Structure 1
């Protein structure tokens, strides 16, 4: 992890950086999109809105902040697009589709599934739906990013920010180009034509406000920048992305992760915010970005890539060495202290977890590579020449 505040380090990395064509296309697209949204933005007004790009540029040229801000650029692009979509002039906005989603749902699934799930409501079900939809959706990505940083392999956090950010960014752009009314609109207004003057509505979350005697969700959804963003469901897409990541890096608990995702799928429909087709579209979007963007070193687990950070630095092995020094037996007495009892001496079933990626063929493990010492790993933790995309953070 980088702790330096010296911009010269980041300028030196920039001079060595040799971007690939996909990187050029990605950063060019996001920069163009940011300029477009800043041009439309009226709150904050000019010149105060220039502080947004100024803050970002400053952050990416300070090493201690660049290691977080550069990989999170797709997420910032999504947040900027979500917030700024309210500033699109009404004359340039497309027509809102009111009957499209319920019609497609009836044709594809034989019934309006969302309508069936909302006919009977109970306080217990309201609370069960609220936990993943109203709480987990906004907090879980931060916990997952932290766990990936601590326990997963080095590129995992960068991959999560990339896939999660681009999935949500794509979803917001689709919602802006194909606005569709959610189920709560059908319940309140029927299938009458909608316009952009209609404010947002909390749907089933209004019952949560009633339970806690508050107006939090009513006020939040009332000023939402995307009122007619039912398709695709970013709640469903985010839950799918989170389940994919956690199942891949911690496959032992995949049943728990996918159970959470299924409960959230149900919650989106029970709370009248999405149709089933919206959830399916969001899940497909996540699967597409997950498997398209996953780096080669994360596609299959090998003995060379330890499962956890403490294995990478041989903390557990060092503890075992200290215990063995007081005894009469060592597992590999010919090795020195830096390499003895490394991660390669762990039990076989602990070193080769089941892959959570069934769509890729099994690859034979690569050639054995000796576990590095802590000193050499500390050196390799610095970014390679020409790499400014992440710095030393994992």
Structure 2
């Protein structure tokens, strides 16, 4: 039985209507030949060289990857290539390339040989926190715990953090132009990719390590810890978080906090593209900042570093076209700026605009079918099609008589019927005198 959209609650009807419209805008082709045709028509620019970086990065990590073993791990690039060739999936997985690079980097970093890894710092972050803020703020926030606070910290840190990027992407896809969705995937992916690379190159211990081991030097054989999320496992009688964090690919990735970075980038996008949700999304970000420290996973300096990384990526990738009203425009809004407005260029003058320069009256419209005539007697002027270029269909009749006196001063007159250059020369004066004598 069909359900009428108008009978649904208004929020649900709005989302369902937007979903139907978004599906209608999708490219539903399954033919790889369509993708290849678009690739041949694409004009490559310097910015496209970033895909060479992604290919090199993927080749590096797949070479290091030990699980799945060879040749099963070749299924990863083969499957992704197929998704890029099919138009229906490539419209999502091509913008997804930065996110895929981040996921591949995060997962494969566990296979880096220990001889390649830098030494782990266990005192850098607590020292910076004390120097910058006068106290170990994260340690102060963990001195008092309560099951209610555990739940309040667990919800944004352990659940919403992993789901909310998909929610943001879905709402942008439904209610904003597709370029905004591409911007979200690009900014979110590069922010996390940069963060993971920094964590690999600058490994630092989290607050939970200080609580368990103090300032004892760390090594890569040590397992990770769930920190305050262990209390959630105890509350629900499970071992999910302990198992997950003990096998984390990046155990010593405290700085920068990508939890704080993700919350910040989500807050920036939501507040920019959906301004009415600003206060709510930043409240969520504030709670998550607190949760990262309360659960002993990050120092305050990590939170600040992650937030700064997110802000830098947001304003670095945000194009000029989304800095104005287009940011809140609907996917089918006609109010988009033209390329001439976007780049502050003068729009080419149209044929109608050029005709206005002649200041003709509406009576000239009747002369559009008059044959073109040359200003020289006895010669027929070529039609525009014969000239091989566009021309205004003005004749030597009424249009040529307009401002005739001014044109005489320029050296030509439709009344005189010939050129006299320079005007007022002796030859021209003599010729005009002969014409007057002939008339008399």
The normalised TM-score by structure 1 is 0.78
Task: Please say if 1:5 is aligned against 2:43.
Answer: no
Matched position secondary structure for 2:196 = helix
Task: Please say if 1:80 is aligned against 2:107.
Answer: no
Deviation at 1:259, TM superposition (A): 0.7
Matched position secondary structure for 2:145 = coil
Deviation at 1:300, TM superposition (A): 1.3
Cα separation, 1, equivalents of 2:283 and 2:74? 43
Q: Output aligned runs, 1:1-394, within 5 Å.
A: 1-24=26-49, 26-302=50-326, 307-309=329-331, 312=332
Q: Deviations over 1:210-229 (max 9, x none)?
A: 11111111111111101000
- Give 1:329's aligned residue: none
Deviation at 1:307, TM superposition (A): 2.3
Matched position secondary structure for 1:224 = coil
Deviation at 1:16, TM superposition (A): 1.1
- Give 2:407's aligned residue: none
Cα separation, 2, equivalents of 1:110 and 1:100? 15
How many residues in Structure 1 have an aligned counterpart in Structure 2?
Answer: 317
Contact persistence 2:204–2:254 (CA under 8 A): yes
The normalised TM-score by structure 2 is 0.70
Greater RCO structure (CA 8 Å; 6+ sep): 1
Q: Deviations over 1:254-302 (max 9, x none)?
A: 1111110010000000000000000111111111110011122111115
Matched position secondary structure for 2:249 = coil
Contact persistence 2:83–2:89 (CA under 8 A): yes
Deviation at 1:154, TM superposition (A): 3.0
* Structure 2: gaps spanning 5 or more residues: 1-25, 337-341, 347-440
Contact persistence 1:181–1:229 (CA under 8 A): yes
Matched position secondary structure for 1:103 = helix
Deviation at 1:366, TM superposition (A): 11
Q: Deviations over 1:12-38 (max 9, x none)?
A: 0111112221221x2111111111101
Cα separation, 1, equivalents of 2:163 and 2:178? 23
Contact persistence 1:153–1:306 (CA under 8 A): no
Matched position secondary structure for 1:155 = helix
Q: Deviations over 1:323-344 (max 9, x none)?
A: xxxxxxxxxxxxxxxxxxxx78
C-alpha RMSD over aligned residues:
2.0
Cα separation, 2, equivalents of 1:271 and 1:366? 54
Contact persistence 2:273–2:328 (CA under 8 A): no
Cα separation, 1, equivalents of 2:329 and 2:240? 41
* Structure 1: gaps spanning 5 or more residues: 314-342, 345-350, 352-362, 368-394
- Give 1:322's aligned residue: none
Contact persistence 1:149–1:157 (CA under 8 A): yes
- Give 1:389's aligned residue: none
Matched position secondary structure for 2:203 = coil
Matched position secondary structure for 2:248 = coil
- Give 1:318's aligned residue: none
Deviation at 1:308, TM superposition (A): 2.5
Contact persistence 2:106–2:250 (CA under 8 A): yes
